[in-house]
Each structure stands twice: as structure tokens, then as C-alpha cells.
Amino acid sequence: MTLSLDLQAATTNRQNLDALESEAIHIFREVAGEFDRPVILFSGGKDSTVLLHLALKAFWPAPVPFALLHVDTGHNFPEVIEFRDRVVAKHGLRLLVAHVQDWIDDGRLAERPDGTRNPLQTMPLLDTITEQKFDAVFGGGRRDEERARAKERIFSLRNAFGQWEPKRQRPELWNLYNGRHRPGEHVRVFPLSNWTELDVWNYIAREKIELPDIYYAHEREVYLRDGMWLAEGPWGGPRDGETLERRTIRYRTVGDGSCTGAVDSDASTIDEVIAEVAASRLTERGATRADDRLSEAAMEDRKREGYF
């Protein structure tokens, strides 16, 4: 009986992943047919790595017909940047990097008092979209990450200022997507909209997708701030009263090191990570992203300004 239930669960999981993969590949091909200059946001994190894997499958054996774009805060984990560059080289892809530091250096942006650069990504992103004339921008956002993301359509229209207007979201019926937009506007595209964090990890396991090592349990010096374990780095910390200690941790999401926390974990294999994620009742952003704790509407406010 137990074997039968396990087999049934495995079959259901496989069918679910097949359906999600098929939908995402359809979206990639739809965008290739509708738009002139799409681009894929790629940071080396798990969601963007799955996104790239799906793009490679969608157009195989031809190369991916889009460039990649990373808005680099300068506060990224070295392991992730090394992984990003290795993946780009492996597949012969073209990567554009918008360095937030360049905008700070020429005065278009100023450092925040808290040292966090995550909110500073919006201007470099919008400027690069405008300069490169990108009309469709793929992102790895999922609806289970945060409440504001759950309001997104798969094709999310942005106005000429790159801003998100929830009232202008279009209905999406029967896998039909409306990519029409005025000159200067662009569309954000989310092929992973219907995926959950657990789906992503199950797919990574099935497809044997490589990720940066920091997604798995390892020892690292961290300090506690606002209930999160943060690592020391070029972004600063620890502050007075905060003490570094060596712990066994892993990262559920990666980004700006000044606001991306780790979780205590012994999950050093993908099966252990899947079991841990399945048992969790907090999304990865809710558990480990300080910038999402600024207010109840922190993410939505940034999305309205043009953030992904």
C-alpha cells in the first residue's frame, strides 16, 4: 500500500513538472514570435538558473535567441558571480551587466543610509531597458514569493516610465497572451508564475541543474540582525552589539548580501533541501529578505516604481 502511494505521488509530481515545463517553454516561444528584442534577467540564483535552463530547452538545438541581463548591486556573494560567469561561458551566451556602482559614481544614485542596495536596482534596470530598446524582459518571479507578485500576470505591461499599473493588467485566458504595447512601453514576462519554491527544487532535482554551492548547507561566519543570519562582506556589518559566529547555514534565495539572510540548515543534498522546503511554512523571501520587511507594501511600492 505504501509503495502504491509513493508511486502515485511520484507520478503526480512528474505530471505536474511536465505541465509547468510545457507552459514555460510555450511562453518563451510565444515571446520569440511576438517581440523584437527580448532579454532574460539572469543573476545566477536558482529561479533565474531554472529560467535559463527552460530557455535552452525551448530553442534547442538552436542557441537561445536572447541576451542575458544582470543588475549587479556590487553586494553579491562571490560564489554566485563565479557561477553566473561560468554558466554564461559554458553556453556561449551574451551577458550584459548593469553595475549599480556606475550609477552611484556618476551621481545618478546615492547610497542608502542602511547600506542596502537592493532598492537601488530599479534605475539601472530601467535605464538599460531603455538604452538597449528591450521590449520584453523575462524574470523568474513566482506568485508564491510575495503578495504583490501574486497580482502579476504572466505578461505584465509596463508603461513608458517602466512602472507597473495593476489596473492595466490584462486577462489571460486559455494560454493566450497579449503582448501589444505602445512605443516606449515594455512587457515583463514571468514563465515561472505558476511554480512554487518546491516545484523549482523538484525540477532542479529532476533535470540535475547545477546551482551555486551556497544553496546547500555549509559553514559560514554570520551575525544575527532582526531575526536573520547575515554574512560579513563589502556591504558592511556586523554593527556594534552584533557578534560573528560560525554556523551551519544555507541560503534559500540570493541577492544583495546586506539584506539577504541565511537559515540554519543541515540540508547538504538536494533531497534534504526538498524535504526542508516541503516542511517550511514561510516563503524564502519572507524568511530571508530584510528589504521585504520595510513595510507591508514594500514589494508593491518598488514594483510600481519599476522594480522586478
Per domain, the residue ranges of the chain are 2-198+297-305, 213-293
pLDDT for the residue 288: 62
Q: How far apart are the C-alpha atoms of 192 and 269, rounded to whole Å?
A: 23
For the chain, give the longest Cα–Cα distance: 67
Q: How far apart are the C-alpha atoms of 169 and 106, rounded to whole Å?
A: 35
Cis peptide bond upstream of 183, omega within 30: no
SS3 state of residue 264:
strand
pLDDT tier, 169 (very low <50, low <70, confident <90, very high otherwise): confident
Average pLDDT of the chain to the nearest whole number: 89
pLDDT for the residue 183: 87
Pull the grid cell for residue 109.
544614485
| Top CATH class, 2-198+297-305 | alpha beta
Give the model confidence (pLDDT) of 196-246 as tens digits. 999 999 999 999 999 999 999 999 999 998 888 999 988 887 888 899 999
pLDDT for the residue 38: 97
Q: How far apart are the C-alpha atoms of 246 and 262, rounded to whole Å?
A: 12
pLDDT for the residue 306: 55
pLDDT for the residue 307: 62
